[in-house]
Amino acid sequence: MDKSAYFFFFSALTLLFGACDGIADRQEGLLNLVLVDAPPAYDSVFVEILGVDVSMNVQGRESTQEVFFIPYELGNKQVKVSDLVGGEVLLLGRSPLPVGQITQLAVRLGTRNFLWERENRYALNYADGVSEVVVLPLSLNIETGFSYDVILDFDLEKSIQTISTNPLRLNFTPSIDLVIPGNLGEIRGTFSQNQLRPAIFAIANGDSTSTHANSSGTYLFRLPEGTYTLYFDPKNQNFLPDTLLNVEVEAGETLTLDRLTFRVRP
């Protein structure tokens, strides 16, 4: 999750709540979409993000579901998602919405997705049958005068599958988790070997979320309250992976772990 970067609208982040200028004077609430990511062990990953459709039951018009599109406003919509780690966030979009209940988000992606490994660029083509629209169920009541943050956590470890290694061919199956702040806690940590780009997995109840360290060796998770196993993959055959059991995450609290040094493989 943090995975660490946000798109307001599209998370792991400093989130702001409260009334915004002018919002309280209208029958509207403000929705901020935040994007975060957990990039894989490649030099960089770019994903084209067009925006998000917000499906709502508007107060007073509940019989008809309405859809509001929040675009990613920048002209170049290819987002370097692999930089969204260690607390880096990106405001994907924001828009006032009428009072009512959000029932679903649908993230619209483009086709210009790719990654760099060393000096080589590889296309990220959608796997057969995979849509460019990622649908995320959500139940969120919008009230007048309030600002709401929604974290979209783009997990690249789950999204990119290697089909062959020689030549390298990849499939793209976008995996995005949706998180509403409020019951989240943080796990922070660092690595001593800054030259590595390890993947860190937080595992609970048979599922996992992942993130990576930034260039200074720092990583950050924002997770629901619970007990997790952390698995550290150095992404380098010269070093051994590591595991940390029974890591307790408490809502509203930050747990700072000791600096980790990967052991050299014998």
Task: Output the domain CATH number for residue 173.
Answer: 2.60.40.1120
Structural domain includes residue 83? yes
SS3 state at 179: strand
For the ranges 16-20, 28-32, 262-266, the maximum mean pLDDT occurs at: 262-266
| pTM (2 d.p.) | 0.75
Look at residue 77 in the predicted model and tell me its pLDDT: 92
Structural domain includes residue 7? no
Q: Return the higher-pLDDT residue of 165 and 130.
A: 130
* Torsion angle defined by CA atoms of residues 233, 92, 146 and 96, in that order, rounded to the nearest 10 degrees: -160
Structural domain includes residue 146? yes
User: Which residues are paired to 130 by β-bridges?
Assistant: none
Structural domain includes residue 16? no
Look at residue 232 in the predicted model and tell me its pLDDT: 92
User: How many domains, the chain?
Assistant: 1
Q: 158, 211, 170: which is closest to 188 by C-alpha?
A: 211
Rg (CA), the chain: 19
Q: What's the count of helices (H) and strands (E) in the chain, helices before strands?
A: 1, 21
Structural domain includes residue 262? no
Look at residue 26 in the predicted model and tell me its pLDDT: 67
Range of the domain at 177: 28-256
Structural domain includes residue 50? yes
26-54 pLDDT per residue, tens: 677 777 665 655 444 578 899 999 999 99
**Helix %, strand %, coil % of the chain (to 5):** 5, 55, 40
Q: 180, 257, 261: which is closest to 223 by C-alpha?
A: 180
Check residue 157 and report its DSSP letter: H
* Residue with token string 């995320």: 136
Structural domain includes residue 190? yes
Structural domain includes residue 9? no
* Average pLDDT, rounded, for the chain: 83
